[in-house]
Chain A
Amino acid sequence: MSFLPAPLVVRSSAPLARVSGVTRLAAGTIWLIAAAAIPDAEGELVLLVAALVGLVVWSGIPLRPLPGRMWPVALAALGLGLTAALGNTADRDPTLPTLLSWGPLRLTPPGLEAGVALAVRLLVIGLTSLLVFAPADLTRLADALVQQLRVPDRLAYGSVAAMGLAPRTAADWQATGAARRLRGLSPRTPAGRLAAVPGRLLVVLVMAFRRGERLALAMDARGFDSGLPRSRFRPVRAGPLDALVLAAAIGTVLLVAVIGQLG
């Protein structure tokens, strides 16, 4: 009754699952900046290979369900890469050799390079996000944000609690549609369906809001945010493994920079 995918079950003993969420965020940010800044396809490919190695060796993420989850990213990368390759300004330069041509479209070496660079960049961004967010659950990420980055408890754990209500809201959306159909109010045309969306959305939002309100009351009743300093059931400490993960992220970026200089 839900269109939210089941969460990935990640091996909790994996190195990336054992480091602090803030470490993963920092390492991921370094990679994302590098992926955006690197101009050439070779550098992006090095990052992609490093990300894949990280995925297989360090993340503990099960590989089998990944194609099912990541295909939209792969499709977007392919489509945008193809567009960049064929729409490249260099393709109009008659002195360049033609690799492929189809009607008015023509593929040249610089176009190919630009297309591959963009496609690989998008794959790197997608994989990096996966490596940052998939290895540990929301609780651990909230713990790290609160304890290491001083994010307010109310924001961090309030978000954790709110995420728990998300599947119910998805189910509510389907149920409101079903209820309208049974009451004879189901619109026949796509335009009618579109017009019915605000009404259904209102019901779902009211329910989500009230559920959130009840949850907030329950949290208050348990002494949350009452002004007393909170203690920590799950202390987060940065250790050698955190340093290693950060060093690996920075090292890969430096390696890419060196290769870029040599090339």
Chain B
Amino acid sequence: MTPPAVSASGFGWRYAGRSRPALHDLSFNLEPGRLLLIAGPSGCGKSTLARALAGIVPHALPGAWMGVLLVGEGEVASTPPGVLGQRVGLVFQDPETQLVMPHVADEVAFGLENRGWARDRMLTAVPAALAEVGLAGFEARLTAALSGGEQQRLALADVLAPLPELLVLDEPTANLDPPATTAVLQRLAVLAARRDRTIVVIEHRLEALLPLADHVLLLDDDGGQVAFGSPREVVARHAGALAGGRTWPAVVPCVADAPVVLAADAVSATYPPVIAGSPRTAVDRVSFVVRAGERVALVGPNGSGKSTVLHLAAGLRRPSSGSIRLTDPDGRRQDPARLPSATLPDRLALVFQDPEVGFVARRVTDEVGGDDPSPILERFGLAALADEDPFRLSTGEQRRLSLAATARQRPALLLLDEPTFGLDERGRGRVAALLDEGRAVGQAQLMATHDPRLLPGCDRVIALHEGRLVFDGPAPAFLASPPYEPADPWRLGSVTAGDGVGVTR
């Protein structure tokens, strides 16, 4: 009988300086050629397990190792990282911090050079790996000029090229829009169907992955093992833990004659060129209004101008033509870029896609501010972290904090850039609750999002495509006939492999 590809026995890990372990008492065996899905709430140690499989834990990060974790027949803790690196390929969440070289071919070759491959072998392996992820012919392109989805597929090619026995993907689609997510998942389905290598995938969004998985490892909040088994068994016994959270409540119809809070009038914005040449148009003559008490979703593929519209509305960038105006309670129209900083917190807030850039304090409690921030911290599940440095929180905690920081002031206009990125079901529930409270008191909300599950909770959808407004109307009408190819990864017809089960919603 062949030995398992991955075998854990009472495995655990505690990072140096932390009192509680990130992972504890994990015991499971994974046969070669199978796909394991690791699921669990955000901050439960899923990424730590990915790091351990690749040997980053314990070889590059300090801490305490417990139990046994075998990759193949080698104990991770006693296998030199160089040897482990030959056998394991790890893809991270963020394309930007895992691409090393400026050009695509050099990027794929980087890992092969590290392994000492002969040049002749690299010259055939690089195009082959690129073709495998659908990037054939991209060799001479600049990695910085690729879209997020292309970058993530490139990262997949990077780790496929050296033919690892074990492929570990840590939320490979967390930062991608639906079409890019579909493209990555389709590649993953093809790889999984071949069964020639063992694959471990971490994903919050289970619907698309469950059909591909042979096994599911479910972790709890404290990094302990809840279940290990076939998707069918785990879904049947732990459906609550897997689905979690709450769904978005029914929409309260908004009053059509509510006062306008934000009005864009044929607004355009251009960017300097990425490489060379003429400036790109990011937003092209877009007009819309957002009224008090209205929740508007701003949708469109990556690069369609969603973030730019939010930045224009926040006065962070000036339009190249047209205008964008805030209306104050007395009906005066004001240019957001000209309002004094001190008056802005009551007027508008922007929740950045990258929460860290928005942090202004060194302690979580100071970030929320006010006389008594503890009720707000409590509601966002941050009470235990009140004295932490915002920069030391996990991704999900940081996003919750950036939302909590707007809960006290409750500005007339709340702008949100991908508010559910990196959040699990429970985190999404908290976002929904905050947004509902705000809207109940007449807050206008404009939310850029890739998450199709948020749309039914919105009063209206504004869709952008290549900088132009292509749809402005109620969410049901948008969902019934989207103005561009939505490529919704949550209803993947084409991605099916393995003998897993589907989850219907």
Binding site for B on A (CB under 8 A): 1-2, 6-9, 65, 137-139, 157, 160-161, 164-165, 167-168, 172, 175-176, 178-186, 188, 199, 203, 206-207, 210-211, 214-215, 217-235
Contact = CB atoms under 8 A, between A and B. Distances in A.
B314 interface: yes
B288 interface: no
Contacts of A203: 356-357, 359
B357 A220 contact: no
Given A139-B102, A160-B100, A226-B82, A221 B90 contact: yes
B360 interface: yes
B113 A1 contact: no
B471 interface: no
B85 A226 contact: yes
Given A139-B101, A182-B349, A217-B56, 5 more contacts: A6-B275, A167-B144, A219-B100, A225-B114, A226-B81
B97 interface: yes
12 contacts: A7-B276, A137-B103, A160-B100, A179-B350, A180-B341, A180-B360, A210-B391, A222-B85, A223-B115, A227-B80, A228-B116, A231-B112
Nearest to B314: A182
Contacts of A183: 344-345, 349, 358, 360, 405
B5 interface: no
Nearest to A171: B357
B391 A206 contact: yes
Contact of B113 (A7, A179, A230): A230
Interface string B79-115: 0111001101110101011111111011001111111
A226 B119 CA distance: 19
Contacts of B359: 179, 203
Instruction: Name the residue in A6, A137, A178, A185 with the highest tally of chain B Cβ atoms < 10 Å from its Cβ.
Output: A178
A231 B117 contact: yes
A220 B113 contact: no
Nearest to A1: B271
B98 A218 contact: yes
Given A139-B103, A228-B115, A231-B113, A179 B360 contact: yes
A255 to B, nearest CB: 35
A185 B96 contact: no
A160 B113 CA distance: 15
B102 A179 contact: no
B342 interface: yes
A86 to B, nearest CB: 39
A161 B101 contact: yes
Interface in B171-193: none
Contact of B82 (A180, A218, A227): A227
B348 interface: yes
Instruction: Name the residue in A7, A217, A225 with the highest tally of chain B Cβ atoms < 10 Å from its Cβ.
Output: A217
Contact of B272 (A6, A188, A217): A6
Interface in B102-140: 102-103, 105-106, 109-119, 122, 126
Interface of B: 51, 54-56, 60, 80-82, 85-86, 88-90, 92, 94, 96-103, 105-106, 109-119, 122, 126, 143-144, 158-159, 162, 271-276, 311, 314, 316-317, 340-345, 348-350, 352, 354, 356-360, 391, 405
Contact of B316 (A9, A178, A232, A235): A178
Contacts of B345: 182-184
B167 to A, nearest CB: 12
B116 A231 contact: yes
A129 to B, nearest CB: 20
Nearest to A138: B102
A112 to B, nearest CB: 39
A184 B110 contact: no
A1 B117 CA distance: 40
Contacts of A161: 100-101
Given A7-B275, A179-B357, A207-B356, A228 B82 contact: yes
A232 B82 contact: no
Nearest to A216: B60
B109 to A, nearest CB: 4
Given A172-B357, A220-B81, A160 B101 contact: yes
A1 to B, nearest CB: 7
A206 B359 CA distance: 12
B64 to A, nearest CB: 19
B96 A168 contact: yes
A233 B97 contact: no
Contacts of B271: 1
Contacts of B114: 222-226, 228, 230
Nearest to A202: B362
A35 B429 CA distance: 67
A145 B55 CA distance: 30
A65 B278 CA distance: 12
Given A203-B357, A233-B112, A8 B276 contact: yes
Nearest to B82: A226
Nearest to B110: A222
B130 to A, nearest CB: 14
Nearest to A9: B276
Contact of B102 (A65, A160, A223, A235): A160
Nearest to A185: B360
9 nearest A-B pairs in the assembled complex, by CB-CB distance: A226-B82, A186-B341, A223-B85, A233-B109, A218-B98, A223-B114, A214-B97, A175-B357, A222-B111
